[in-house]
A and B are shown apart, each in its own frame.
Chain A
């Protein structure tokens, strides 16, 4: 089945630094990638939608200058958390739309646990 590989799985960074998270579609082309954030014991909240070759669209309340998204190819989307602060500590997960025998669904990366100290 369609697989999205997400790296790193865990990262600890110092406050004020930037962290890049990568999601690669391994056996399919993802023109669109969805980025979610999940705080402990909460739901997955959509942050932004990345589109290959064009600007990402951000959900209301998400700072586009802080969460930089790049989708330069059909198999790679990246999320960079700039000037990270402890409140950015969360579980970040990407997702792509996939099609199987004409039926649409979603596949998820394995997630990145970001801890900002």
Chain B
């Protein structure tokens, strides 16, 4: 089955700086890669996603890049703000519709 690795597990950045979280996946048939932000005790909230026919997608301060050859994708958050502090999960959807999550990154924005 699909295996998704995520790094780093924790990340602290100064407010206003950029944050980058990286994920790799194992199943070359995976074709959908969402990123979620999760507050404690809450459901995952989709912040951006990318499909395998696209290499990059941007939504205001958030961008995602996908390298299908290398089977890795990254989340970029620019001009970070205190409210960006949360746990972020990458995920990959394989052909059987199952969504496999990465191990998570706890992002802390230092004011």
Contact = CB atoms under 8 A, between A and B. Distances in A.
Interface string B61-99: 000000000000000000000000000010001000111
Interface string B90-111: 0001000111111110000000
Interface residues of B, number: 19
Q: Is the interface of A mostly helix, strand, loop or mixed?
A: strand
Contact of A43 (B32, B41, B104): B104
A104 B102 CA distance: 20
Nearest to B49: A105
B8 interface: no
A4 to B, nearest CB: 9
Interface in A84-100: 91, 93, 95, 97
A104 B34 CA distance: 11
A46 B98 contact: yes
Given A32-B97, A43-B89, A44-B89, A108 B102 contact: no
